Amino acid sequence: MSFSLLALCGRDHDRLRNHLLPADGLEAAAILLCTISGGARPGLFVRSIILVPYLECGVRERDALVWPGQKLAEAQAQAEDEGLAMILIHSHPGGMFQFSHIDDASDLRVLAAARDGWCGSHPATLGSAIMVPDGSIRARTFEEDGRFVAVEEVRVAGDEIKHISPNQSLSRQPMAFGDGMGTELRHRRACVVGVSGTGSIIAEQAARLGFGGLVLIDFDTVEDRNLNRILNSTLQDAALGSAKVDMFARAVRAYRPDIEVVSVKESILSRGAVLAAAGCDVIFSCVDSSEGRQVADLVAQAFLIPLVDMGVTIFTRQLADGGVAVADAVGRIDYVQPGASSLLSRCVYTPDTLRAEYLARVDPTAHAAEVAEGYIKGAPQEAPAVISLNMRAASEAMLEYLARSFPYRHEPASSFARSVFRLGDGDVERFGEASFPPDELGLTGAAAQEPLLGMPGLCEP
């Protein structure tokens, strides 16, 4: 089976780089145990890493390495028990970004022996990879007929977002805002969850920036009250009750006939929507609900996808004459990398808010007043004039993604895990990744293992 993708989180990439490229300048080794996911974009998702101790390698030279049999046996036993793929990775300290003849002979011998001794209940999925000093990784699988087949791309979702192909290492990444960035984005697919206020603006940016694929997820239809804040929506769409995703897809195709747009007229809480999002390279969460954010959070962790979540709120205060005035207008942008903190650990949603939304479904009148408040707390509005605020938040969110994919900022990306802007005083506050506790859900790299996302309601029918 050939694979389009090998995905890993930034923290695992850092661990590998620190171990595989030690100061002695000699080759080093590690083993990747990966969840296997099929579908339209078959991928290998790193679930765990076994670092091979330097002293256990029979030989470690600048251009040669001998794998220790005991470590290979331990890794293979774990892969067999847990239904995982096993990828052997070693370093090329000299920087050669291709497999050598020595690699071919060694991998053939070691991987053929592993396949011959395979005792798992699932077929063996085996492969090898190399890492060079700039952190670039090249991977391949070992087929049953003895051939090696290249993995099309390696994706790293960390403080920075890295897409590495066999023909383009990290040292050759394009400059931000140039033609090269647009060319690179044509190989990427963005998922927008919620195609309404901020979501329509995110989707518009993604299409015009040049993303090659766009997955739009929203169950709702266009109404008259949406027209002042959903880009591309028309009176005809409102009159017909057009699905938001279909309306937006039509608009995008009018100026980007080359783009692949997938419209998913379902809630993100559905299995179909989850699997559609799982095939993307970035998820933009543009929903108001805690349940929607939870699922986007879990998809990002399980499928090792960077996630950008955003929200806007207008706070009000009571005037002495009984009127209402704006106290502040606030926007929040969170960048979430798998394997680090999550929206849950950052308290963007909590068990209490999830429980409240469940109760609201059971007894809709119980939360009617809270839901009606929407954007403006303390002053319910049918059609709030918030497009300018939404545009600020959505632009900041897209720029956050671009800054991590095509670095241009002067400060480390790890300093921008969360940004909060307040229009009342013009303040912008930033929080680094170290400000938040790590995620403890244990789904990192789980991919499509059943039950999907650990949620029985998403099980395959």
Which structural domains are found in the chain, ordered by start? 5-172 (3.40.140.10), 179-458 (3.40.50.720)
Please state the pTM of the whole predicted model: 0.94
The DSSP output letter for 215 is: E
Q: What SS3 class is residue 199?
A: helix
- In DSSP terms, which residues pair with 264 in a beta bridge? 217
In 83-139, where does DSSP find H-type helix? Answer: 101-116
Q: Cα–Cα distance between 309 and 395 in angstroms, integer?
A: 12
By C-alpha distance, which of 350, 352, 353, 339 is closest to 445? 339
- Please report the pLDDT score of residue 169 as a whole number: 75
Judged on CB neighbours under 10 Å (0-12, 13-18, 19+), 196 is buried
- Please report the pLDDT score of residue 138 as a whole number: 98
- The residues of the chain scoring below 70 in pLDDT are 364-383
- Please report the pLDDT score of residue 361 as a whole number: 74
Could you tell me the two tokens for 152? 């099309």
- Please report the pLDDT score of residue 357 as a whole number: 83
Q: Which contacts qualify for 15-24: CB closer than 8 Å, 24 or more apart? A: 15/49, 15/51, 16/49, 16/89, 16/131, 16/137, 17/131, 17/135, 19/51, 20/89, 20/90, 20/91, 20/131, 21/91, 21/93, 21/131, 21/133, 22/54
Contacts of 320 (CB under 8 A, 6+ apart): none
- Please report the pLDDT score of residue 455 as a whole number: 93
- Please report the pLDDT score of residue 324 as a whole number: 87
